[in-house]
Amino acid sequence: MATPAPPRLPVGERLRRVGTAAWALIGIGIVAAALIWGLFKISIIFPPLVLAVLIIYLLNPVVNRLERRGLSRVVGTVIAYVLVLGSVTIMVFALIPVVSGQVETFSEDWPKFRTRLVSFIDGTAESINDRFGTRFNTTQIDCLLGADETADPQAPTEARCDEVVAGFRDRIGAQASRLTEIGSSVIELLLVFIIGPLIALYLLIDLPHLRRDSLNLIPETHKAEFADLASKIGRAVGGFFRGQLLVALIVGLLSALGFRLVGLPFWFVIGAIAGFFNLIPLVGPFIGGGLGFLIGTVSSGVGLGLKAALVELIVQQVDNHFISPQVMKRTVNLHPATVMLSLLAGGTLGGFWGVLLAVPAVAVIKLTLSHMWATRVLGAEVAPASKPAPAREPPSVVADEPEPAAEKEVEKAHS
């Protein structure tokens, strides 16, 4: 039997709900603008808090699982930290021989590689100038790479390179005041990776108490709704970060393996770079493929460069059609255009951290606005998962009357 459609609300009631939702959105916008302004004023605390949130989303499932097995919250948190740090340490020690071998090979082959790179840059610039009538000058790049005029007759002379280096020295001297800023930025980065895990440790231990205290601040009439929305946001953001790290690891391993099969030099380092930049949705794959193409073309010609680009293309197709849909199917669901605009806005506002947080932040905004529109405008109820289960009615003492078909079966049995 079809479920009857809910009664249509009067026009006045619908307009009232739309007005309420509009004023609520305006209020949320004002509060969000005030929060953003305040965060910019105290932006020094933002990076360690972001790192702490990332660690919490990654380790909280492990801590919860250990807590369900009977361990205390403190012991579970310490064990999770030890497991993660131990795994990272073992991985680093296992990869040191491979990375050091490739770095040593790169340092030995650098003179030959530098000559090929200079020739490739000069040839590419010359072909572009001939075809489009431009005037690209590669003198500064050649001098910075240390081009040798004895090995390459077209390389800039030593006197010309001295002039270029003197020009760079003057520019650096003019920007000497920024050296202090660079030094302070390095110190801040070190503090982020020290303070962030400590903040995450304390928050992980007290997370159940913080949740309970946060719910106690909400009126009883809206507590179930708040808990429902918070659980949706937590699942989306946590699933996004955990999924992105897992996908980046898989993409890095597949890229390194593919580069190794086609014979690309420094295959492991380039694969690791491709995996790391895969953390940036829709943008990272082009960085790994472009770097592989450049290294392959400079080292052994365009053929190897195209093979490396093809490897990254295949890896990304496998990721887009098989890996990411399985890993990220329960996380954020945003249109690619929305993702690109979010990355641009996040990079403008917060640099690297803004790019990292742009997509989950937009997903949180989308979930919040969708929830408010559904509940305040369309009149939908809170999700059943957050509502208490309805009380079961006691079984009736009087037996139900049998159906007509059942009565006929009884009569046949008696006859």
> Considering the domain boundaries, does residue 290 fall inside one?
yes
Question: How far apart are the C-alpha atoms of 199 and 50, rounded to whole Å?
Answer: 10
> Considering the domain boundaries, does residue 249 fall inside one?
yes
- Residue 368 structural domain: 332-378
Residues 105, 235 within the same domain: no
Q: Which helix (H) or strand (E) holds 198?
A: helix 177-205
| Tokens found for residue 251 | 């993409």
> Considering the domain boundaries, does residue 306 fall inside one?
yes
Conformation bin of residue 383: beta by default, left when phi > 0, alpha when psi is -120 to 50: beta
Q: Which of 219, 241, 263 is the last residue of a domain?
A: 219
Residues 325, 336 within the same domain: no
- Residue 53 near residue 233, CB atoms below 8 Å: no
Residues 49, 141 within the same domain: yes
> Considering the domain boundaries, does residue 414 fall inside one?
no
Residue-by-residue pLDDT tens, the chain, 415 positions? 455 655 676 777 777 888 888 888 888 888 888 887 876 777 777 788 888 888 898 899 889 999 999 899 999 999 999 988 888 888 888 888 888 887 788 777 777 777 777 777 777 777 887 777 777 766 666 666 655 555 555 555 556 566 655 655 555 555 555 555 555 666 777 788 888 889 999 999 998 888 888 888 888 888 888 888 888 888 888 888 888 888 888 999 999 999 999 998 888 888 888 888 888 766 667 888 888 888 888 888 888 889 999 998 999 888 877 877 776 655 667 777 787 788 788 878 777 777 778 888 888 888 888 888 888 777 777 654 444 444 444 444 444 444 444 444 444 444 4
- The length of the chain, given as a count of residues: 415
Residue 78: the pLDDT is 92
Residues whose CB falls within 8 Å of the CB of residue 56, separated by 6 or more in sequence, listed in order: 200, 203, 204, 207
Biggest alpha carbon–alpha carbon distance for the chain: 119
Number of domains in the chain: 3
Question: How far apart are the C-alpha atoms of 39 and 33, rounded to whole Å?
Answer: 10
As to burial, measured by CB atoms within 10 angstroms (0-12 exposed, 13-18 middle, 19+ buried), residue 293 is: buried
Reduced to 3 states (helix: H, G, I; strand: E, B; else coil), residue 149 is coil
Q: Which of 164, 192, 219 is the last residue of a domain?
A: 219
Residues 370, 291 within the same domain: no
Question: How far apart are the C-alpha atoms of 175 and 169, rounded to whole Å?
Answer: 10
Residues 54, 91 within the same domain: yes
Residues 338, 293 within the same domain: no
Residues whose CB falls within 8 Å of the CB of residue 158, separated by 6 or more in sequence, listed in order: 149
Residues 136, 238 within the same domain: no
Residues 48, 195 within the same domain: yes
Residues 248, 100 within the same domain: no
The CA angle 209-211-214, to the nearest 5 degrees, is 105
Residues 213, 246 within the same domain: no
Residue 311: the pLDDT is 92
Q: How far is CA 393 from CA 389, 390, 396, 397, 398, in A?
A: 12, 9, 9, 12, 14
Question: How far apart are the C-alpha atoms of 283 and 363, rounded to whole Å?
Answer: 18
Residue type, 199: I
> Considering the domain boundaries, does residue 160 fall inside one?
yes
Residues 189, 164 within the same domain: yes
| Tokens found for residue 145 | 């790479």
Q: Which of 171, 196, 219 is the last residue of a domain?
A: 219
> Considering the domain boundaries, does residue 30 fall inside one?
no
pTM: 0.65
> Considering the domain boundaries, does residue 198 fall inside one?
yes
HSE-CB at 22 with a 13 A cutoff on CA atoms is 6
Residues 190, 163 within the same domain: yes
> Considering the domain boundaries, does residue 7 fall inside one?
no
- Residue 413 near residue 405, CB atoms below 8 Å: no
